[in-house]
Structure 1
Amino acid sequence: MISKATIDTVFETARVEEVIGDFVHLKRAGSNFKGLSPFSEERSPSFMVSPAKGIWKDFSSGKGGNSVAFLMEHEKFTYPEAIRYLAKKYNIEIEETEQTDEEKANTDVRESMYLVSEFAKTYFHNTLLNSEEGKAIGYSYFKERGFTNETIKKFGLGYSPEAWDAFTKEALGKGYKLEFLESTGLTIPRDDRPFDRFKSRVMFPIQSMSGRVLGFGGRILTNDKKAAKYLNSPESEIYHKSKVLYGIFQAKQSIAKLNNCYLVEGYTDVIQFNQSGIENVVASSGTALTPDQIRLVNRLTKNITVLFDGDAAGLRASIRGIDLILEEGMNVKVCTFPDGEDPDSFAKKTSYDDLVLYLENNAKDFIQFKASLLMNEAKNDPIKKADLIRDMVVSISKIPDRIQREIYIQECSRIMDISEQVLVSTLAQLVQKDVVEVGKKQQQKQEQKAFEVVKNENPISTEKVDTLGIVECEIINILLSYGNISEKFEGVLIGTNTEGEVGEVVVKKERKVYEEIYLSLQEDEIEFATGLFKEIYNDVISVYLQNDNFNLERYLMHLKPEFAQIITDIVMNNEKYVLHNWEGQNIFPKTKLEQLNQNVTDNLFTLRWYLISQFIENAKNSVSKESEIDNSEVIADIMDYIKLKTKFSYKTGRVVVRYH
């Protein structure tokens, strides 16, 4: 178990924008950062990160929390795994206490699969470097490919022995359960004796964006025609090949920094490029490119450069992936290598400077690439040329941005020597066809619903606005965000004026915001009415009274995840309105700090006004209509409270209108 001191150090050191920035491309938006949600498919950013508060909020999915919560949600880490990841990122030494048997037993299935996969990576790597067989076969192969020891270590390359069950026996001997060896695909079950899936292969660990081992790719080195050259881990609870890109862990920071991602086909292409100094490169690992893989890159950059072999078979089929990239609203360039070369071989024999120069000079816009590739096929055949032009317009129709579509139409017109009007007309037909298809699907759904008889047991009712909940929520938000700030608040005292008359005297007294809220509610003996908000308010006030220095990030650290989620929602819901660039429109609204004093006063008065209104209503309902019962005392109370309510209404007129 990780010690409390280590956890405290991790939370004090970790910067939420740095942690999330490894997974999501963030852009500054005022004092916050924003980016595309990693939890939903969106094109307009609604994912907000607040460095000052140390929290994040995804308005598209409703999720939020601190840096640990993000790792638990995005990477499916357990709490200890998230702490270990952050400790490793910030070079913090981990102090541990002995884990109990009960804690060990509580490790879930997914975590067990991750542990088995991590053990396998270590085993294969050690076998490569330290066993005679590993050095003679696996290590020699990687050296022939030109990989250095540093590169072998960086990518965790390994070797699986030729013996049928060498890895399985070792894993079982170390206490790993057979069920998890089988569920990860490392071991193939057999009644008499389970055996290793990757026997006699060099190993390429496949890692998530955070570095967790999800599965493996294994390459056979013998000339066995019955065996597949490359073998991947099967789909499992933790490994979905359509959602993974090889090398993303090593490439993510470089991709975000350089704002471009090179996409190649194989493991060795990635490794050789990386060793040559170009680190912003990933591979689809031989599978057809998928929308999920594209969205993985989209979190880090809007720009992809696809690298193709010079003599790649079926190149035309391969470039269909370009349309998928365009559909995601990304910018695509394509670069091919000379005949007989692939990214691996070309990078191996080319210096870093020459390689960078080659990529810059030969990376073509997708429209230019398609034209140059397919024009050779069309040549002087008008039918084929027409098909080529239509193919290019189909690609352009996939682009969601209308301005970009217009620019590409102009470029296509220039390259293919055809009028823009014809291309625009063809494009409009394609776009309209897509709209019609969507319309048909919607109509089918509506027709299905039309034949469904739904019995509505409860009459439709308009949802009543929870005025009290809104006010209490806002007061909690003020406490969480600004409680430590000092302001001069107005107070009313009974005193004598210069003429000796007794009356109300307005005075200003400097207090911290939390003191003003706490003392005001205490003075009037007011308690929160909403159960959850009452619990949060009492807990936050308790922290302030004990420490006089409230830190939101530290506070969230000690809360249960579901409780921390509620706190995050309260604080970050106001931040979504900061997304608009008001200053760019020459509109300069007051900042929240400039309105803080008024906001505190308004909400305290509104809370009083609302509670008094409730008391008056309850008192009116308690007045007896029977003549023999004396209601004079209750009526007197009602009149007093109506006077007080009128006084509050006078002071907070605009607030009353807002909530009434």
Structure 2
Amino acid sequence: MISQSTIDQVFDTSRVEEVIGDFVQLKKAGSNFKGLSPFSDERSPSFMVSPVKQIWKDFSTGKGGTAVSFLMEHEHFTYPEAIKYLAKKYNIEIEETVQSDEQKEAANERESLYLVSEFASTYFQKILHKTDQGKSIGLSYFKERGFTEDTIKKFDLGYSLDEWQAFTDEALKQGYNIDYLEKTGLTIVKESKRFDRFKGRVMFPIKSMSGRVLGFGGRILITDKKAAKYVNSPESDIYYKSKVLYGIYHAKQSIAKEDNCYLVEGYTDVIQFHQTGIKNVVSSSGTALTSEQIRLINRLTKNITVLFDGDAAGMRASLRGIDLILEQGMNVKVCTFPEGEDPDSFSKKHTLDELALYLNENAKDFIQFKASVLFEDSKNDPIKKAETVRDIVNSISKIPDRIKKEIYIQECARIMDISEEVLFSTLAQINKKEFQEENKKYKNEQKAFDVIKHQQPVKKVDVQYVLERKIIEVLLLYGNKTEDFEDLVLKENDKGDLILEPVIHQAKVFEKVFLDLQDDEMEFSNEQFKTLYYTIIDTLNQSTEFNLKSFINSVDSETSSQITTILMEDERYMLDDWNRMNIFPKEKNQNVAQLVSETILSLRCFLIDQKVKEFQQETLQNKIDTNRNILEEVKDYSSLKMLLSRKLNRVL
């Protein structure tokens, strides 16, 4: 177990905007930050981070919480793992007791897969550096590739012995379950036999954005026509090839800082670039580029530079990937290397300055690249040229931004020596076809929606819910703050009329709220708010220092999400770029005492209305024409509401 002092230090030190900034590209939005949701596929930001409140909210999925809950949601960490991750990030020494066998057994299956993968990574590194076979074969290979000791250790490169079950035997000896070895693909089980998948291969661990080992890529070093040159881990509950990019853990901060991501094809391309000094580079790990991988980059930057070697056939096969990138609304450039060179070999022969200069000078806009590749095959054939033009226009049609579309059409007309009118017409045809298909799909969906829509009545605003929610928000944000409050004492004047006389007194916000609700015997109608209210009041009563971040982390995940929703609801408008449209929303500048008083008074007025309605209903049910007592009470309540409304500056 991790000691409480370590947990407290992690909470005090960690910054939610810094932690989430490692996974999502955040842009300033007033006093907050906004970005694309890492939990859903979207193009307009619905993800908000508040540095002041130290919480985040994803309005597209409803998820929210603190830095710890983000890691638990995004990286599927357990609570202790999230604490350990933050402790490592902020160089905090962890105090903990040794896990018992029972605690190890209690870990869920997914966590067990992670533990097996972490063990395998450590084992392969040990074999590489500590055994004769590992040093003579594996380490020699990496050094021949030009990798330094620091680079080999940084990427946790390893070696799997050229023996049928050396790894499996060691894993079983250390107490790891054969089921998890099989599910991660590290061990192949066939009837009574079991053997190592990566026998005799150098190992490349594939990590998540947070650095957890998800799977492996293994390269064979002997010439064997029957064996594949590269073998990857099969998909599992923790490893989905289409959602993973090799090198993203080491590249994420550099990608965000440089606002650009270099996309290469292989493991060694990534490592060699990184060693040369270009760190904002990732690879699709030998698989075809997917939209999920592009969205992973999209969280960090809108700019991708795709790097190809001089193989023309390979470049044509990769053109589809460019269209996928364009569909995500990203900016694409393409850079090719001289014939016979690839990113690995080229970066090995050049210094950082030379490599950076080459990339800068040779990175072409996608349209220039696509035109030059396709134009070579079609320049003497009018029919092929027409197909090439249509192919390029089809790529342009994928771009969501209309201004960019027009600029690219103009560029295409210039390169292909064809009129803009023809290209715009072709684009219109493509868009019309896509629009018709989308419209047909939308109409089918709308029919189903209309059936549901007509069945559901329009929901009215629940005033009491809104006011109770506001009380919770006030307590969370300002509960421990001391304010001067103006209370209204009901008195009779010389004429015998009821008047409200103001009296100033000092109190803490939570004490003021608690006493006012108690005096009027006001109870929360929402059970969740009621539970949360008493939890907050109890916490504030027991502690002189109320830390919002620590409080959110101390409650269960459902309550934590509810608190985040309450606190971030007012920030939703900042997701829309109102300033760009010359609309400037006012900042909240109301003082706390006024906010508390108005909220309580508004709830009182609402409850008075409810009481009057009850009297009306009672009169109707009893079928009494006149009931003096009820009429007197209604009159008294109406007078009280009039006085309260005056205080609220409302016209009745």
Q: TM-score range by the shorter chain?
A: over 0.9
Q: 1:594 to 1:218 in 2, by over 3 A?
A: same
How do 1:360-439 residues align onto structure 2 when only pairs under 5 Å count?
360-439=360-439
Higher mean displacement: 325-334 or 430-439: 430-439
State the AA in 1 paired with 2:418.
I
More moved, 65-74 vs 93-102: 93-102
What is the distance in 1 between the residues matched to 2:623 and 2:571? 57
C-alpha distance in 2, partners of 1:600/1:446?
A: 44
Q: Take 1:51 and 1:625, find their aligned partners in 2: how far apart are those partners?
A: 55
Give 1:287's aligned residue: 287
Paired residue for 1:251?
251
CA deviations over 1:600-619 (Å, ceiling 9, x no partner)? 22211111112222223334
Shift of 1:437: 1.5
Give 1:218's aligned amino acid: G
The amino acid of 1:45's aligned partner reads: P
Structure 1 window deviating more from structure 2 (486-495 vs 549-558): it is 486-495
| 1:249-292 CA distance string (max 9 Å, x none) | 01000000000000000000000000000000000111111000
Task: Could you tell me which runs of 5 or more consecutive residues in structure 2 were left unpaired when the two chains were aligned.
Answer: none
Q: Which residue of 1 aligns with 2:645?
A: 649
Query: What corresponds to 2:468 in structure 1?
Result: 472
Partner of 2:539: 543
- 1:609 equivalent in alignment to 2:570: no
Partners in 1 of 2:263 and 2:535 — Cα distance? 51
C-alpha deviation, 1:590, in angstroms: 4.3
CA separation of 1:378/1:299 partners in 2, compared to 1, >3 Å: closer, same or farther? Answer: same
Q: Match of 1:527?
A: 523
Q: Quick one: which amino acid aligns to residue 90 of structure 1?
A: Y
The change in CA–CA distance for 1:503 and 1:64 in structure 2 (over 3 A counts) is closer
Q: Does 1:354 align with 2:354?
A: yes
The Cα shift of 1:489 comes to 2.9
Other-structure match for 1:113: 113
Three-state SS of the structure 2 residue aligned to 1:432 is helix
The counterpart of 2:559, out of the listed 553, 557, 563, is: 563
Asked if structure 2 preserves the Cα contact closer than 8 Å seen for 1:72 and 1:79, the reply is: yes
Q: What is the deviation of 1:305?
A: 0.3
The 1:583/1:40 distance shift into structure 2, 3 A limit, reads closer
Identity, % of aligned positions = 61
Alignment of 1:79-94 (within 5 A): 79-94=79-94
1:118-158 CA distance string (max 9 Å, x none): 00000001100000110010000000000011000111100
Cα 1:503/1:435, change in 2 over 3 Å? closer
C-alpha contact (below 8 Å) 1:485/1:512 kept by paired residues: yes
Give deviations 1:517-558, integer Å, cap 9, x for gaps: 233223333232221111111111222222243221111111
Comparing 481-490 with 258-267, greater Cα deviation is found at 481-490
Structure 2 letter corresponding to 1:522: Q
Give the secondary-structure state (helix, strand or coil) at the position aligned to 2:224.
coil
Report the alpha carbon displacement of residue 230 of structure 1 after superposing the two structures with TM.
0.3
Q: CA deviation at 1:187?
A: 0.2
Cα pair 2:45 2:575 within 8 Å, conserved: no
For 2:310, what is the secondary structure of its paired residue? coil
Alpha-carbon distance change, 627 to 371 in structure 1, aligned in 2, over 3 angstroms: closer
Which of 565, 569, 584 matches 1:573?
Answer: 569
What does the per-residue CA deviation read over 1:278-322, in whole Å, with 9 as the maximum and x for residues that have no partner? Answer: 000000111111000000000000000000011253321211110
| TM-score of the superposed pair, with normalisation by structure 1 | 0.93
Coordinate RMSD, CA, aligned? 2.7
Matches within 5 A, 1:227-306: 227-306=227-306
Deviations 1:430-456 (A, max 9, x none): 111111111233345568899xxx899
Give the SS at the match of 2:333.
strand
Determine the structure 2 residue equivalent to 1:516: 512
TM-score, normalised by the number of residues in structure 2: 0.94
CA distance in 1, matches of 2:626, 2:41: 66
| Alignment partners' CA distance in 2, 1:455 and 1:48 | 31
Distance of 1:193 and 1:44 partners within structure 2 = 52
Gapped runs of 5+ residues in structure 1?
Answer: none
Moved more, 503-512 or 348-357: 503-512
* Alignment-mate amino acid for residue 41 of structure 2: E
Q: Displacement of 1:359 after TM fit? A: 0.3
The Cα shift of 1:481 comes to 2.0
Higher mean C-alpha displacement, 336-345 vs 617-626: 617-626
Counterpart of 1:646, as a letter, is M
AA aligned to 1:574 is D
Label 1:527 to 1:496 Cα distance change in 2 as closer, same or farther (>3 A): closer
* Distance apart, 1:588 and its partner CA: 5.5
What amino acid maps onto 2:380 in structure 1? N
Shift in CA distance, 312/118, structure 1 to aligned 2, threshold 3 Å:
farther
Further displaced range: 74-83 or 609-618: 609-618
TM-superposition CA deviations, 1:298-354 (whole Å, max 9, x none):
000000000001125332121111000000000000000001000000001111100
Q: Secondary structure at the match of 2:546?
A: coil
| Secondary structure, aligned partner of 2:295 | helix
CA contact (8 A) 1:36 1:47 kept: yes
1:600 is aligned to 596
